[in-house]
Structure 1
């Protein structure tokens, strides 16, 4: 009997290949969500340092800050740690107050302001102080949670005001009208698309 060495080698290789399963490939990550103006959510446009945001607080609205941090660290939102700045760390964001109704602050209740160094999360006392137009805990909490969303890399969403409610809508009246107090189901999906 004559043995075909080439055929034997091919058969041996096939047996070896069948003995080892094909490598498991991870499912591709979801693409970052789209925003108004055609941009997308971005890690590079955030206050996140590695996998955390450390904050310092010089705002009078501690309750709003506490609510925002709790809202963005609840449930499955665990990839980015949000914690107070300590003696051995450098604050990534600083909660501050603004107090203006003119210029760039006209009808603006809060703002995430990236800086060279520590970014600012600003809450506007001119609208949010007690007795002012939005001067309730509920409004202050919504505004703080919205602005912390920007610090996490989320830009204003253009999902529309119907099927896909979002804490990151640009128009505060839509957020308030739907009584959105924290990340919605759509915002949670955006979080996982960006941060895993």
Structure 2
């Protein structure tokens, strides 16, 4: 991230999920961080990528934010998110992408208040799915403004 801007590049087949994640994290009062495509005169801060892996760290991992020096990667796991797979529809892909973009914006997993304080950043995807959370909740919006103004 450069100041309050994330320039992204796309190497993922899940364009709908990327578009949704950007839309929900820039909606309403969430305007402090600009999230825009990488251009000819900028370097990508974030690259959307796919993997298809169920081994090791990828077991039951649907997406992952991978911070690096320079460009961070936001991985979407086709082993779970491709059509015909356990989470292979737009609704699940959108939830996973919104959660992972939340990490790129500076938010960690929220392990507290399950049920009481809904968050797109809950560590347990089953709870996010169970509460039908598709983007930042009022709790996430408060955290966004605490971090970004």
Give the corresponding residue for 1:98.
51
> Is the 1:159–1:165 contact (alpha carbons within 8 Å) kept by the matching residues of 2?
no
Give the corresponding residue for 1:72.
25
* Separation (CA, whole Å) in 2 of partners of 1:107 and 1:159: 21
Give the corresponding residue for 2:67.
114
> Is the 1:159–1:166 contact (alpha carbons within 8 Å) kept by the matching residues of 2?
no
Give the corresponding residue for 2:106.
153
Gaps of 5+ in 1: 1-47
Tell me, yes or no, if structure 1 residue 195 matches structure 2 residue 148: yes
Tell me, yes or no, if structure 1 residue 178 matches structure 2 residue 112: no
Greater gyration radius? 1
> Is the 1:100–1:106 contact (alpha carbons within 8 Å) kept by the matching residues of 2?
yes
Q: What is the SS of the residue equivalent to 2:73?
A: strand
Give the corresponding residue for 2:76.
123
Give the corresponding residue for 1:142.
95
Following TM superposition, by how much is the alpha carbon of 1:117 offset from its aligned partner in structure 2, in angstroms?
Answer: 1.2
TM-score of the superposed pair, with normalisation by structure 1: 0.75
1:33-44 equivalence runs, <5 A: none
TM-score of the superposed pair, with normalisation by structure 2: 0.99
Gaps of 5+ in 2: none
Give the corresponding residue for 1:10.
none
Q: What is the SS of the residue equivalent to 2:17?
A: helix
Following TM superposition, by how much is the alpha carbon of 1:111 offset from its aligned partner in structure 2, in angstroms?
Answer: 0.2
Please give the root-mean-square deviation of Cα atoms over the aligned residues, in Å. 0.6
* Separation (CA, whole Å) in 1 of partners of 2:84 and 2:108: 30
**Number of positions where the alignment pairs a residue of Structure 1 with one of Structure 2:** 149
* Separation (CA, whole Å) in 1 of partners of 2:114 and 2:131: 9
Tell me which protein shows more strand as a share of its residues.
Answer: 2
